[in-house]
């Protein structure tokens, strides 16, 4: 066998890729598994969005920058929901999901050996992509007592000379903690002081969140910040692969240099569907959030049955729960999986700061959640 590139030595297969294989094999053995692990919305996008896709009759390559019409609708969306002005000409780049943007941004701004500030707990892709391109992850701890916000004063005590990028993600996954204007102002000031590109990954701002915010709404933010956004969670379009990166034209131009050499424009029908989705009124979010609220109530009951605690003010597609002290996250999730056929994500997937926590997805129907509650009530954890 040909040896693989050295860059793969430090990178493991994605946790969910491995665990879902195991879950699938349990299902194949006839186990009635209920999956509360993954944040892939189970509901459909609106009919109008699906029709826009169906009616597409263009099958050729598309522009690397996406249809001007799509960029215009992203610009209107950012103005309407976040109060942020973006030029559709050069401050917006549509992406095939925000996950691919993490690689494109890293390739555009990092050299081998550069350092990258990464939240712990946080979305695992920030660290794995950093390692893939042979840069160095520098984890900063988020703690419940600081509402899972970065302690910038503590971070500043380190040598930040070679740090080029800081990943932030508010509303935060996995904890559901929300940012606010003050936090974003402090992050922008930090980026300016240390010449670090602040990247806010913002796919959850419309899920169980009354105040959608963009880091770019802070005055002067575009000098040092860019933002990733996505239609995956907001419009139930995770499998469509539509996201975007927005910010200053010089930053977006650099990312386009990478992207245009790696892939081609999105299928025309997907872009038409995305345009339709972005123009929906806020009623769409209200309707989705009503469903998620009902589901979250049941998950809170499951947490109570497990003697876990949780923050009722959190946002996003998950409930992040603290397990009783003395217990280990993976022990609990494995016990629940093997004895009760329910898959829940251990907090340790998101870094060692996730030890002592578990994460529940809101992406299954109420009846299945009630079934989980019944199963959990029957188990004795302590
Ligand atoms: C924090 C965070 N960022 C990015 C993504 C990727 O989303 P997309 O479907 O837009 O690639 C996810 C998906 O779970 C996520 O949780």
Render pLDDT for 90-120 as a digit per residue (tens, 0 to 9): 999 999 999 999 999 999 999 999 999 999 9
Pairwise CA distance, residues 297 & 31, whole Å: 26
The backbone region for 214, taken as left when phi is positive above 0, alpha when psi lies in -120 to 50, beta otherwise, is beta
Ligand 1 atom with minimal separation from the 238 CA:
9
Among 232, 241, 244, 316, which is best to mutate for testing ligand 1, by the most ligand atoms less than 8 A from CB?
232
Pairwise CA distance, residues 212 & 208, whole Å: 10
How far does residue 231's CA lie from ligand 1's centre (Å)? Answer: 10
* Positions in the chain whose pLDDT score sits under 70: 380-382
How far does residue 241's CA lie from ligand 1's centre (Å)? Answer: 10
Residue 99 has what pLDDT?
95
Beta-strand pair 243-247/309-310: unpaired
Structure tokens at 45: 């996008």
Residue 380 has what pLDDT?
56
How far does residue 284's CA lie from ligand 1's centre (Å)? Answer: 20
The backbone region for 195, taken as left when phi is positive above 0, alpha when psi lies in -120 to 50, beta otherwise, is left
Q: In the structure, which protein residues have their CB atom closer than 6 angstroms to any atom of ligand 1?
A: 39, 97-99, 123, 169, 173, 201, 203, 230, 232, 238, 243
Under a CB-based contact definition with an 8 Å cutoff, are residues 32 and 337 in contact? no
- E-strand spans in 169-278? 197-201, 225-230, 243-247
Structure tokens at 33: 């598994």
Pairwise CA distance, residues 173 & 156, whole Å: 23
Give, as one character, the DSSP assignment of residue 129.
H
Pairwise CA distance, residues 200 & 141, whole Å: 17
Opening angle at CA 339, ends 333 and 340, nearest 5: 80
Among 45, 97, 98, 241, which is best to mutate for testing ligand 1, by the most ligand atoms less than 8 A from CB?
98
Among 96, 173, 176, 202, which is best to mutate for testing ligand 1, by the most ligand atoms less than 8 A from CB?
173
Helix (H, G, I), strand (E, B) or coil at 75: helix
Under a CB-based contact definition with an 8 Å cutoff, are residues 321 and 301 in contact? no
User: Among 242, 226, 265, 257, which residue's Cα sits nearest to residue 107?
Assistant: 257
How far does residue 175's CA lie from ligand 1's centre (Å)? Answer: 14
Question: What is the per-residue burial (b if ≥16 Cβ within 10 Å, else e) of 106-127?
Answer: bbbbbeeebbbbbbbbbbbbbb
Ligand 1 atom with minimal separation from the 232 CA:
9
* Total residue count of the chain as it appears in this document: 382
Number of helices (H), then strands (E), belonging to the chain: the values are 12, 13
Dihedrals phi, psi of 261, to nearest 5 degrees: -95, -5
Pairwise CA distance, residues 301 & 370, whole Å: 9
Ligand 1 atom with minimal separation from the 231 CA:
10
| Largest Cα span, the chain | 60
Residue 382 has what pLDDT?
46
pTM as predicted: 0.95
Pairwise CA distance, residues 100 & 89, whole Å: 21
Under a CB-based contact definition with an 8 Å cutoff, are residues 270 and 53 in contact? yes
Structure tokens at 88: 């559709």
């Amino acid at each position: 066998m040909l040896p693989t590139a050295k860059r793969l030595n430090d990178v493991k297969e994605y946790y969910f890729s491995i665990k879902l294989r195991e879950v699938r094999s349990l299902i194949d053995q006839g186990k009635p598994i209920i999956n509360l692990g993954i944040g892939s919305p189970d509901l459909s996008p609106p009919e109008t969005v699906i029709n826009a896709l169906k009616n597409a009759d263009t099958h050729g390559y598309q522009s690397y920058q996406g249809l001007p019409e799509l960029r215009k609708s992203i610009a209107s969306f950012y103005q309407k929901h976040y109060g942020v002005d973006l030029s559709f000409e050069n401050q917006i780049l549509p992406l095939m999901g925000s996950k691919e943007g993490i690689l494109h941004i890293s390739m555009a701004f990092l050299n081998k050996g550069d350092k990258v500030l990464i939240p712990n707990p946080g979305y695992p892709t920030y660290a794995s992509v950093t390692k893939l391109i042979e840069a160095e992850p520098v984890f900063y701890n988020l703690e419940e007592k600081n509402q899972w916000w970065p302690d910038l004063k503590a971070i500043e005590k380190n040598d930040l000379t070679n740090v080029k990028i800081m990943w932030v993600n508010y509303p935060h996954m996995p904890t559901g903690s929300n940012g606010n204007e003050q936090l974003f102002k402090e992050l922008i000031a930090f980026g300016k002081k240390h010449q670090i590109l602040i990247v806010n990954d913002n796919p959850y701002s419309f899920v169980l969140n009354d105040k959608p915010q963009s880091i770019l709404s802070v005055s002067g933010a575009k000098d040092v910040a860019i933002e990733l956004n996505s239609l995956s969670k907001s419009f139930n379009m995770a499998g469509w692969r539509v996201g975007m990166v927005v910010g200053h034209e010089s930053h977006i131009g650099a990312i386009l240099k990478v992207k245009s050499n790696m892939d081609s424009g999105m299928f025309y029908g997907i872009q038409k569907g995305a345009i339709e989705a972005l123009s929906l009124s806020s009623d769409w979010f209200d309707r989705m959030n009503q469903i998620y609220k009902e589901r979250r109530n049941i998950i809170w009951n499951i947490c109570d049955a497990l003697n876990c605690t949780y923050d009722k003010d959190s946002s996003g597609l998950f409930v992040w729960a603290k397990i009783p002290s003395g217990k280990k996250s993976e022990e609990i999730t494995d016990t629940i999986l093997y004895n009760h056929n329910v898959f829940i994500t251990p907090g340790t997937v998101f870094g060692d700061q996730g030890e002592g926590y578990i994460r529940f997805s809101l992406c299954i129907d109420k009846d299945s959640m009630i079934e989980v509650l019944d199963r959990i009530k029957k188990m004795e954890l302590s």
